[in-house]
Structures are given as structure tokens and as C-alpha cells.
Amino acid sequence: MKNSYSNIFTFNKKILSKTIKVLNKGGVAGLPTETVYGLAANAYSKLAVGKIFKLKGRPKLNPLIIHYYNFHQIFEDVEINSNLKKLYKKFCPGPITFVLKKNKNCKISSLASAKLKTIAIRFPKHRITRSILKNTKYPLAMPSANISSHISPVSAKDVYEEFKKKIKIIVDGGQSVIGIESTVVDLTNNPKILRPGIISSSDIEKVLKLKIKNSKSLKIKSPGMFKKHYSPGIPVFINQKKIDKNSAFIYLGNRYKNNKNKFSLSKKSNLNEAASNLYKTFRLIKKKGFKKIQITRIPFKGTGIAINDRIKRAAKIK
């Protein structure tokens, strides 16, 4: 069914086959996931993957996450290990990405993995993207559906804002419930968190029964990970106490009522809820025409670690 945005579609059987047709032909589709929306293409096809890099303006050095339906699909492409098995069992499908050694017979386009010897894989939970993955004969390379250095989209309209009509099809799967990108964990050696997310290092430690170095104290060279900034397009300042009259202020709790420049990420100061509202709030503030964003201090615990990671990047602080 078409709506006022002619390339945003409500999901049904017809749209499922239309999306698969586009992907089978080497095209690109905007798809919902539980974390953020992704820009999907056939991960086995260099031509298809090339379109993703071009649309995003993404540096070729920055590899893409490869999305699979389930465990059975990955044996050809990556080396399985016991940590992967344990984490898969506990968290998948879900908001976690595993970096693994590439297999000799790996069919993933080397463009997608930036010619590295490793591959990042994920099993998304969103039912729409799962049904698409179930019906394709290849996994999907799928970075967040934003122009490089912009913030990730959390709704179909956000994707439209990024690419307008440059992509044929954006499947509407509602607001992404988690709202920030997946946790990326490197399992090629001793497990390391490369990108914090809603699944925290202590969640992972509990499953693996070992200690993981805190990403805060780690300087990991994950391609594109620390060089890149995610910017809402206006200056962002973090750990703010004093509110400037003309800036938008992002905070936790319900201290301010009906104030036009104050935006609470969670009235109950719940950090998961705060994460899910972060990018949405950035986009809203930008749309309202504010020229500057100030953010209160966010506690450095649990999902707060992931929120601090994202707002630091938005503030262009390393």
C-alpha cells in the first residue's frame, strides 16, 4: 500500500515479494530492525554492496555488518567458536553483532568486509526483516540507513529524510524499539566490546563467565569506529549543567514541565527508554530549528555507557 511518501510501504505479502524482487536484482531497500533502520543489499554481490557505499558516501575502509536469519546460514562464511554459540543462545535474534574470522569459502563480497580477514555478523529480531531474510538465498549487508556521519534513523520517515527517492523501497516497521545500534563484540580472540549497546559488557560477562575489558579504557582499531562522528547537524555539548536560553536541553526525569526547549529522554530516568528516544529527540530538535543542543550528564552505567558513547560522538569528543 502506498502512502504520502511514495517509496515508504506498509508491510504485507505483496511488499514482501516486491522487496525480495528488488534485492534479488541487486537493488537496495530500507528495512526496519529493532535497533535502527538499515540499508540492505545482497551481501554476496559486489555490485549490490557497492550501491550501499555510494548512497551513504561511506568510506570503503569501513566494513558492513552482515545480517543472517539464523545460525545454520553462517557456517560457510565464518569460523564458529564456543563463545559465539553461548552468546547466540542467550541473545539472538537480537541487538548484538559478532566479529568473527572469515572462512576460506566465505561468499561475502570482499567490498562488504573492507577486505578484512574478519566479518561482523548479526541476527536481527524485527519480524519484518526476519521474514525478508528467511526468503532470500543470501545474507544482507546492512549498515544503518543514514548518510555517513549523520545519526541513525529510527523510523521509515527518518530513512526518507536521508535518501528521499534515491532508494526504491523503504519498508515501514514502526519506530525501532531499541533506538541505538547493536553492541559489537569481537570474538576473534579474547572477547572485546568494540561498540557498546543495550546488551552491556556485564551481560556478556555473565554468559561467558569471563571478564571483558571495558570499552571506555580500550583504544580499539575498529575501522571507522572511533574516527567517525555521528552528528545531528547542529553543535552538541555534553555534561551540561547551566542551560543557555537559546539552546535545546536534553535531560533525564521530569524536572521541567511544558517547557519548549527542554526535552526529557525518559520521565522515569530509565536508561533503556532514554536510549530509545535519543536519535528521535535529536531529529526533533533539529526540525524545530534550534541551533545548539546541550545534554545533561548521563550516568556511566548499563545502557548509559552506550548513550555516552553516542553523545560523545555527536559532540565530536573522542
Give the footprint of ligand TXA on this chain (CB under 6 A): 33, 35-36, 38, 62-65, 97, 99, 113, 116, 118-120, 122, 124, 142-144, 181-182, 184, 194, 222-225
- Shortest Cβ 58–Mg ion spacing (Å): 8
139 binds, among Mg ion, ligand TXA, none (CB under 5 to 8 A by kind): none
Q: Cell 548521563 sits at which residue? A: 298
Residue 121: what residue type?
A: I
Distances (CA, A) of 206 to 7, 100, 183, 203, 210: 43, 20, 15, 5, 7
183 binds Mg ion (CB under 5 A): no
303 binds Mg ion (CB under 5 A): no
Question: Which residue's CB is nearer to ligand TXA, number 130 or number 292?
Answer: 130
120 binds, among ligand TXA, Mg ion, none (CB under 5 to 8 A by kind): ligand TXA
Question: Which residue's CB is nearer to Mg ion, number 144 or number 272?
Answer: 144
φ, ψ of residue 50 to 5 degrees: the values are: -60, -35
308 binds, among ligand TXA, Mg ion, none (CB under 5 to 8 A by kind): none
Residue nearest to Mg ion (CB): 144
Region from 46-54, 138-146, 183-191, 210-218 binding Mg ion, contact rule CB under 5 A? 138-146
- Structural contact between residues 135 and 20, judged by C-beta atoms closer than 8 angstroms: yes
Question: Which residue's CB is nearer to Mg ion, number 23 or number 180?
Answer: 180
- Shortest Cβ 95–ligand TXA spacing (Å): 6
Q: Which residues have a Cβ under 8 Å from the Cβ of 260 and sit 6 or more positions away? A: none
247 binds, among Mg ion, ligand TXA, none (CB under 5 to 8 A by kind): none
Distances (CA, A) of 246 to 239, 261, 292: 17, 8, 8
Question: Which residue's CB is nearer to ligand TXA, number 44 or number 251?
Answer: 44
- Structural contact between residues 169 and 9, judged by C-beta atoms closer than 8 angstroms: yes
184 binds, among ligand TXA, Mg ion, none (CB under 5 to 8 A by kind): ligand TXA
Question: Which residue's CB is nearer to Mg ion, number 252 or number 307?
Answer: 307
Q: How many angstroms separate the CA atoms of 312 and 229, rounded?
A: 8
The helices-and-strands tally (H runs, E runs) of the chain is 8, 14
Q: Strand pairing partners for 263?
A: 250
Question: Which residue's CB is nearer to ligand TXA, number 186 or number 294?
Answer: 186
- Structural contact between residues 17 and 132, judged by C-beta atoms closer than 8 angstroms: no
144 binds Mg ion (CB under 5 A): yes
Question: Which residue's CB is nearer to Mg ion, number 53 or number 290?
Answer: 53
Q: Looking at residue 226, what DSSP letter applies?
A: T
Per the document, the length of the chain is 318
Q: How many residues bind Mg ion (CB under 5 A)?
A: 1
What is the β-pairing status of strands 192-195 and 183-186? antiparallel
**Interface positions with Mg ion (CB under 5 A):** 144
